Amino acid sequence: MANPEDSISTAAIGVSTGKPATRTGGKRVRSFTADLSAVGEPALWGFGGALAIGIILIAGFLAIIAWNGFTTFWPKPIEQVELVDGTVIAGEPTRYNTFTVGESVLARLNDAQRQEIEDNFGFANRTLYKTANFDLYGDDFTWAADFDIANVERPSGYYLFERQQWGTFVGFPASLVIGGEETAYDQGLMQREQRAARSRFADIRRLERRDIGRINHNQERARLDSRKALLQYGENDPRYLARVEVNNARIAELQNEFVEVQQRISDIRAIDSQYRVILEEVNGRTVDTNLSQIVRFYAANDVNWFQQAGIYLSRWGEFLTTEPREANTQGGVLPAIFGTVAMTMLMVVFVAPFGVITALYLREYAKQGKLVSIVRISVNNLAGVPSIVYGVFGLGFFAYTMGTTIDQLFYAERLPSPTFGTGGLLWASLTLALLTVPVVIVATEEALSAVPRSMREGSLACGASKWQTIRYVVLPKALPGIMTGMILAMARGAGEVAPLMLVGVVKLAPALPIDGFAPFIHLERSFMHLGFHIFDVGFQSRNSEAGKPMVFVTTLLLLGLIVLMNATAIYVRNRLKKKYAGSQF
């Protein structure tokens, strides 16, 4: 390289004094040579590489979740696979991987196959087929190695049935039973009757949920009322006896009602059992199912793109609006969404005043000194304490100490079964409020410090008191920043699972925390949570492979919620910064 060109460059290269200066065209030019160690190119690549690794990891992580989450509900074709040994399986190809072929497997292969595997360093490829039909096979999945497969085809006529129980079924509809009479299969008829059967199913559900739920609730209330009177007046008090009489009459009345509803349900059930479909799997074994048990069905290899999109959307709809079934591995996550949102909202109610007051103290009231330093260390410690410790504290203090006291004072009639004396929505949100309060404090402080000093001084100079200044000038200006903190706290709280496992999250909540019975909001109830749902389905269900798609979709939903909240917070914050950048006057 020629020297003059080098001389143009400025800071990017090192300056050397090793070579004597030369003159070019009457101008004295210092020679810039290459002392590469001054540039530190390898180190720069190391540092840049670290950042790149971070970004690649994040992108990869989000891509895995997004890809798996978004493709799960897309209907896949069904392949009919004939194996070398003559068995035939049919199922959705779920995933492929490479595996090391074991000794015993190698021994039964022929030379050509063995050679091929050896050429591939002992590896071979295999496919995981979702053969479904758990009630027939006892398993949902089958691995098929490439060297075992004789023939793969996608014959038309295969159907996929999603059932209320036993998971999916892969096979053909053999015949229909309509009104108790067997008829040949007809797609239009089946669709029509299935829809009718589903509405009957919904009727049963509604009767069970709403009517029987109400009867049970009222019976329990009457029983508790008797017990309360017993505790209040004693065993032989006439007031107690009178109350018991009233309540027993009420319970008997409700019992009659219960029998009536039960009768209606069994009537519908009787009709329901006359509409059935006989399903046949690839090897001819059949299953007889009520049509009302079929949630969704489609001819997997014969649907066009438009129909596929319809199925895809309907599955998303089911996921977002229904309750889970099949040990949470199928169906929807509505209760979990509901629980997550309710818990987070309640948490904000608790965290907001506490966080804002602390920030106000730190920014507006405290004299900088030892005390403030200790408060800051405390805030920092609150932020740094492991979430599980909050869970332990929440369980021991909120649920067992405070809850037990509340039970003794207000819910004595329900003892020994605890009301507030165990994990529940209230304690969970209080625990998380404690956990997220540092987030709010930090964000609020930032927002308060962004309010220009001149505005405060202006207000004070006008004769406003300190509190008036804060109330009418500082807080309104800082409000967007405080909101940012709230949103960030919500995002943090919504994703936290470990403490919730101790203070009230359950895998399947019997009832939502908000319903139609007084007092409508039941803070003592345990609830479901998206994060815990992921843990539960992925790790505690009968077949984690079957639950995996569900886990990915739930993860996508949770991530979506959190990313959305964070993005909002960041957006608000950036706008805030811009707004105040030039507002000094």
The footprint of other proteins on residues 494-533 (CB under 8 A) is 494-498, 501-502, 531-532
What is the nearest approach in angstroms of other proteins to the Cβ of residue 497?
4
Q: How many chain residues are in contact with other proteins, going by CB under 8 A?
A: 123
Tokens of 409: 């004072």
Closest CB to other proteins among 37 and 266? 37
> Which of positions 246-265 make contact with other proteins (CB under 8 A)?
none
What is the nearest approach in angstroms of other proteins to the Cβ of residue 294?
30
Among the listed residues 4, 16, 248, 252, the single contact to other proteins using CB under 8 A? 16
What is the nearest approach in angstroms of other proteins to the Cβ of residue 584?
20
Tokens of 89: 């399986």
Closest CB to other proteins among 32 and 159? 32
What is the nearest approach in angstroms of other proteins to the Cβ of residue 97?
7
Piece of the chain touching other proteins by CB under 8 A; list 44-52, 76-84, 168-176, 211-219: 44-52
Helix (H, G, I), strand (E, B) or coil at 522: coil
What is the nearest approach in angstroms of other proteins to the Cβ of residue 417?
14
318-357 mask for other proteins (x: CB under 8 A)? -----------------------------------xx--x
Question: Per CB under 8 A, does 548 bind other proteins?
Answer: yes
Q: Report how far residue 181's alpha carbon sits from residue 167's, in angstroms, rounded to the nearest whole number.
A: 26
Among the listed residues 194, 562, 576, 580, the single contact to other proteins using CB under 8 A? 562
CA of 477: how far to CAs of 446, 452, 474, 487, in Å? 12, 9, 5, 17
Residues with Cβ within 8 Å of 476's Cβ and at least 6 positions away in sequence, in order, are none
Among the listed residues 374, 412, 479, 521, the single contact to other proteins using CB under 8 A? 374
Q: Report how far residue 471's alpha carbon sits from residue 171's, in angstroms, rounded to the nearest whole number.
A: 69
What is the nearest approach in angstroms of other proteins to the Cβ of residue 264?
40
What is the nearest approach in angstroms of other proteins to the Cβ of residue 477?
17
Tell me which amino acid residue 74 is: W
What is the nearest approach in angstroms of other proteins to the Cβ of residue 65?
7
CB atoms within 10 A of CB 392: 14
Residues with Cβ within 8 Å of 290's Cβ and at least 6 positions away in sequence, in order, are 197, 272, 273, 275, 276
What is the nearest approach in angstroms of other proteins to the Cβ of residue 121?
4
SS3 string of 440-507?
A: HHHHHHHHHHHCCHHHHHHHHHCCCCHHHHHHHHHHHHHHHHHHHHHHHHHHHHHHCCHHHHHCCECC
What is the nearest approach in angstroms of other proteins to the Cβ of residue 392?
4
Residue 82 is given by DSSP the state E
Question: Per CB under 8 A, does 396 bind other proteins?
Answer: yes
> Which of positions 124-153 make contact with other proteins (CB under 8 A)?
none
Among the listed residues 41, 208, 237, 288, the single contact to other proteins using CB under 8 A? 41
Strands 168-178, 324-325: pairing is unpaired
Residues with Cβ within 8 Å of 534's Cβ and at least 6 positions away in sequence, in order, are 497, 551, 554, 555, 558
DSSP H helices, 72-168, are: 103-107, 111-119, 134-137
Question: Per CB under 8 A, does 43 bind other proteins?
Answer: yes
φ/ψ of residue 386, rounded to 5: -55, 140
Piece of the chain touching other proteins by CB under 8 A; list 50-58, 207-215, 224-232, 322-330: 50-58
Residues with Cβ within 8 Å of 537's Cβ and at least 6 positions away in sequence, in order, are 328, 329, 544, 547, 550, 551, 554
Q: Report how far residue 153's alpha carbon sits from residue 463's, in angstroms, rounded to the nearest whole number.
A: 86
Among the listed residues 114, 146, 535, 572, the single contact to other proteins using CB under 8 A? 535
Among the listed residues 88, 231, 249, 563, the single contact to other proteins using CB under 8 A? 563
Long-range contacts of 270-277, Cβ-Cβ distance < 8 Å, separation of 24 or more: 271/200, 272/197, 272/200, 272/201, 272/204, 274/177, 274/178, 274/179, 274/180, 275/177, 275/178, 275/179, 275/193, 275/196, 275/197, 276/176, 276/177, 277/173, 277/175, 277/176, 277/177, 277/185, 277/190
Question: Per CB under 8 A, does 157 bind other proteins?
Answer: no
Query: Which stretch of DSSP H or E encloses residue 277?
Result: strand 276-280
> Which of positions 405-424 make contact with other proteins (CB under 8 A)?
none
Closest CB to other proteins among 4 and 180? 4
CB 428 within 8 A of CB 343: yes
Among the listed residues 256, 454, 465, 583, the single contact to other proteins using CB under 8 A? 465
For the chain, give the number of residues.
Answer: 585
Question: Per CB under 8 A, does 559 bind other proteins?
Answer: yes
Question: Per CB under 8 A, does 273 bind other proteins?
Answer: no
Closest CB to other proteins among 247 and 555? 555
> Which of positions 422-441 make contact with other proteins (CB under 8 A)?
434, 437, 441
Question: Per CB under 8 A, does 108 bind other proteins?
Answer: no
Piece of the chain touching other proteins by CB under 8 A; list 31-39, 154-162, 218-226, 284-292: 31-39
CB 117 within 8 A of CB 147: yes
Piece of the chain touching other proteins by CB under 8 A; list 108-116, 118-126, 170-178, 299-307: 118-126
Question: Per CB under 8 A, does 180 bind other proteins?
Answer: no
What is the nearest approach in angstroms of other proteins to the Cβ of residue 380?
4
